[in-house]
Structure 1
Amino acid sequence: MNPNIEHLPKDTSESFVIKYFNYPYFPTPWHYHPEFELVLVTESTGKRYIGDNISDFREMDLAIIGPNLPHTYKNDELYHQKDSGKRAKSIVIHFSKNSLGNDFLSLPEAQKINYLLNNCNGGFDIKGKTNKEVREIMVEMLDQKGIVRWQSLLTILAIISESDDLTQISNANLVGVNDKESERLSKIIDFIYSNYMDDVKIADIARVTNMTETSLSRFFIQRTRKSLSAFLMEIRLYSACTMLQKNNLNISEIGYQNGFNNLSNFNRQFKKHYLCSPKEYRRQFLEKSKLNII
């Protein structure tokens, strides 16, 4: 699968784009674009791939993604099941420096915004009070037009530029617009994500990417700072956590469905990663759910 260069068309009266998306699951593949992107997940859970970073996302996840930084959001398997009743919803803003005006960023009042945008290549997670403030404005922007909406974007950037609630997402030195490398990484991630329930071997991935096993392993570590086996384990364990939370299958069956060939190995790997057994994880989750604290 070739990486897509995504383009959200804007009207001639617009300098930037804001869209509300409502899908059964997020369909966008591994892609990049020359615009900055503010993305707010308003509903759904899953895995987020941004540059060399892989992390969970859930409702209220908010990030600003720099230009040409490859990324995609993949929902949990449940969202892909027919008639699941689940929805994946988000608000996305695409903008460029030109959206702010040719000379705006040279103004002394815009110094902090200019610094933010110039240092956003790896993207930032937006947490805490800043997350709440920006979320509220993004929701309001869906009903705004013209100069009022533009002012709201400016307000958002001003808030973010003053914030201490930012954490860099990706190592900016490891990303870019190299189509060949992006295509390879996309193929690797998609193959693992589609086959993690089976007995995935490095030879299988090497075959679909036309690489030697040694080159494949080195390439993946350089681009993600994770080994293939660590990434595969992370996907399997995350999927197992989702199943432990959301269905009544017994623990051995959950392990089997997520690529673990025996219960002892599942328990050992789960405890190593989450510092508790699958049984204890399920018990703790159910207790927190009853207290309405998650």
Structure 2
Amino acid sequence: MRLHLLDRSTKLNDFSFSIRNNRYPNFLKIWHYHPEFELVTILKSSGTRFIGDNIEQFNVGEVVLIGKNLPHMWLNDKEYFQENTKLEAQAIAIHFKENFLGKSFFNIPEMSVIKKMFENAKYGVKFTGDLSLAIRWIKKIETLKGFDKTIALLKILNLLANHKDYKLLSSMGFVNSFKKTGRTNLVEVYEYIIKNFKERITLNDVANIACMNPTAFSRVFKRVNRKTFSEYLNEVRVGYACKLLMEEKYNISEICFESGFNNISNFNRQFKKTTGYSPTNYIKRHLSLD
């Protein structure tokens, strides 16, 4: 899964931000990043969302804000790639630069809540709870022009910034190491983990990718991520297992091996350590929240 930089600057030459209502048989399978913020609203389809090192299920009605240069991808379920499928994936994506209203606009006191949301966006922000008003405004904005469209976007950002129900997605370690700080070796490690977490990955494997000896790699990785490599890998695998559990397509034993664990006892132990629940209780909790 090669990481791509998508250049959207040409899309913004004549406008301060862009709005696209994307409709495809399935979303493009491209693990990518770009210097613009992206506000994504899923109108149709389901699948797996990858943002940084976060892996979760996505469904209709999801609203996510992605910060600049944060890698991401929406991967539809297998049935969306079948030949002659009548399924459709649809999402509204709004792209804008952090300074699209001027370098100092969001520094004024009245914009403090939006500025805080922009800071959180470096991790990816998934909004939860009642989003009906936000989605209604997002659907309407593409019908507006000029001044009205700009004011509408500002109102949407303010609405979301004051929305109390949200969660941050990617880890601090991933975000810190992905910055342009010369740690390109760790970026390659994260890419390798996201691509291969279902398979057996050893400390030597990732240390070689980082061009470091295992001891030095372990020390650097723990300093950046505040957890060991094995803890990090298990959390990625558990995140994917949560997604599979919520889909209710596989039994727990199948999910264990599909997520990269090699035995049920270790899977159960790591799952409870990460989520606080056993896989069975996690499913019950999910069903009780539906």
> TM above 0.5, one fold?
yes
Residue in 2 aligned with 1:271?
272
Counterpart Cα distance in 1 of 2:254 and 2:178? 41
Task: Note the C-alpha offset of 1:201.
Answer: 0.3
Distance 1:104 1:231, change over 3 A: closer
Q: Secondary structure at the match of 2:93?
A: strand
Counterpart Cα distance in 2 of 1:113 and 1:151? 14
Task: Note the C-alpha offset of 1:267.
Answer: 2.7
Deviates more, 1:158-167 or 1:265-274: 158-167
Q: 2:49·2:55 contact (CA, 8 Å) conserved in 1?
A: yes
Distance 1:75 1:105, change over 3 A: closer
Give yes or no for the alignment of 1:178 onto 2:203: no
* Structure 1: tracts of 5 or more residues without a match: none
Deviates more, 1:15-24 or 1:162-171: 162-171
Residue in 2 aligned with 1:112?
110
Counterpart Cα distance in 1 of 2:267 and 2:210? 29
Task: Note the C-alpha offset of 1:204.
Answer: 0.9
Deviations 1:195-231 (A, max 9, x none): 2222210111122232332343344344444432122
Counterpart Cα distance in 1 of 2:117 and 2:246? 38
Residue type of the alignment partner of 2:210: T
Task: Note the C-alpha offset of 1:278.
Answer: 3.4
Residue type of the alignment partner of 1:15: S
1:35-50 pair list within 5 angstroms: 35-42=36-43, 43-50=45-52
Q: Secondary structure at the match of 1:153?
A: helix
Q: 1:188·1:205 contact (CA, 8 Å) conserved in 2?
A: yes
Residue in 2 aligned with 1:125?
125
Counterpart Cα distance in 2 of 1:103 and 1:234? 38
Residue type of the alignment partner of 1:152: A
Counterpart Cα distance in 1 of 2:41 and 2:144? 17
Matched-pair identity in %: 25
Q: Secondary structure at the match of 1:198?
A: coil
Residue in 1 aligned with 2:252?
251
Counterpart Cα distance in 2 of 1:240 and 1:180? 32
Distance 1:210 1:103, change over 3 A: closer
Give yes or no for the alignment of 1:156 onto 2:156: yes
Q: 1:20·1:91 contact (CA, 8 Å) conserved in 2?
A: yes
1:141-290 pair list within 5 angstroms: 141-160=141-160, 162=162, 164=164, 174=176, 177-178=179-180, 180-181=182-183, 183-246=184-247, 249-282=250-283, 284=284, 288=287
Q: 2:106·2:114 contact (CA, 8 Å) conserved in 1?
A: no
Counterpart Cα distance in 2 of 1:141 and 1:37? 15
Task: Note the C-alpha offset of 1:6.
Answer: 3.7
Q: 1:48·1:72 contact (CA, 8 Å) conserved in 2?
A: yes
Q: Secondary structure at the match of 2:11?
A: coil
Residue in 1 aligned with 2:70?
70
Q: 1:113·1:157 contact (CA, 8 Å) conserved in 2?
A: no
Q: Secondary structure at the match of 1:200?
A: coil
Counterpart Cα distance in 2 of 1:14 and 1:98? 13
| TM-score, length-scaled by structure 1 | 0.72
Deviations 1:150-193 (A, max 9, x none): 22112223434555556666759936741742x43432222122
Distance 1:246 1:100, change over 3 A: closer
Residue type of the alignment partner of 1:252: S
Task: Note the C-alpha offset of 1:232.
Answer: 1.7
Deviates more, 1:208-217 or 1:81-90: 81-90
Counterpart Cα distance in 1 of 2:178 and 2:243? 32
Q: Secondary structure at the match of 1:197?
A: coil
Q: 1:267·1:277 contact (CA, 8 Å) conserved in 2?
A: yes
Q: 1:47·1:75 contact (CA, 8 Å) conserved in 2?
A: yes
* Structure 2: tracts of 5 or more residues without a match: none
Task: Note the C-alpha offset of 1:142.
Answer: 2.8
Q: Secondary structure at the match of 2:217?
A: helix
Deviates more, 1:202-211 or 1:15-24: 15-24
Residue-pair matches, total? 280
Counterpart Cα distance in 2 of 1:155 and 1:40? 16
Q: 1:5·1:32 contact (CA, 8 Å) conserved in 2?
A: yes
